[in-house]
């Protein structure tokens, strides 16, 4: 596996290089919105994006950020993890997530957590069986209406 390298995507050009793979997970994003969100998250939230390359081919991307909550303590939240659909089952996701685990240990974080869509049963098997994650909770989401649509009168 000496042909595998991990690189942090920081510059606009690097971040855009990760878009074709990230788009496979975040299908609702166009390139412009993706770039804007990554740059803002990097600046304001400490979001980091890493890419795994097999030789010159970008094959997987992970985005994560350090967080602190009363439930988890100091931990890393994996926001995005995706391997190129044509390159799955070669251990790329495992390699990239293991790198995040090591980054977390080195930087004195106590845990790594993530959420995964209910329909992603293959991913669930990967997290539970391969990566030894515990199913700790459900994640709930409420999309808020635009506050301008319902002004108090």
C-alpha neighbours within 13 Å on the C-beta side of residue 52? 26
Closest CA to 137 of 111, 115, 112, 110: 115
What is the value of pTM for the model shown? 0.84
Burial group, residue 87, by CB count within 10 angstroms (0-12, 13-18, 19+): middle
In terms of CATH architecture, what is 4-133?
3-Layer(aba) Sandwich (3.40)
pLDDT digits (tens), the chain, 153 positions: 579 999 999 999 999 999 999 999 999 999 999 999 999 999 999 999 999 999 999 999 999 999 999 999 999 999 999 999 999 989 999 999 999 999 999 999 999 998 877 778 778 787 788 888 888 877 887 889 876 655 554
List the domain boundaries for the chain.
Answer: 4-133
Q: What are phi and psi of 50, to 5 degrees?
A: -120, 145
């Amino acid at each position: 596996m000496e042909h595998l390298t991990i690189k942090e995507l920081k510059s606009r050009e690097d971040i855009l290089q990760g878009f074709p793979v990230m788009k496979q997970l975040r299908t609702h994003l166009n390139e412009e919105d993706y770039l804007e969100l990554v740059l803002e998250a990097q600046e304001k939230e400490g979001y980091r994006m890493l890419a795994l390359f097999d030789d010159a081919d970008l094959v997987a991307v992970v985005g994560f950020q350090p967080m602190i909550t009363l439930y988890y303590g100091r931990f890393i939240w994996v926001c995005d993890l995706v391997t190129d659909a044509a390159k799955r089952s070669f251990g790329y996701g495992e390699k990239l997530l293991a790198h995040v685990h090591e980054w977390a240990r080195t930087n004195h974080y106590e845990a790594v957590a993530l959420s995964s869509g209910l329909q992603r049963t293959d991913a669930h098997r990967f997290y539970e069986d391969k990566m030894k994650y515990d199913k700790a909770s459900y994640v709930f989401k409420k999309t808020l209406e635009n506050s301008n649509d319902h002004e108090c009168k």
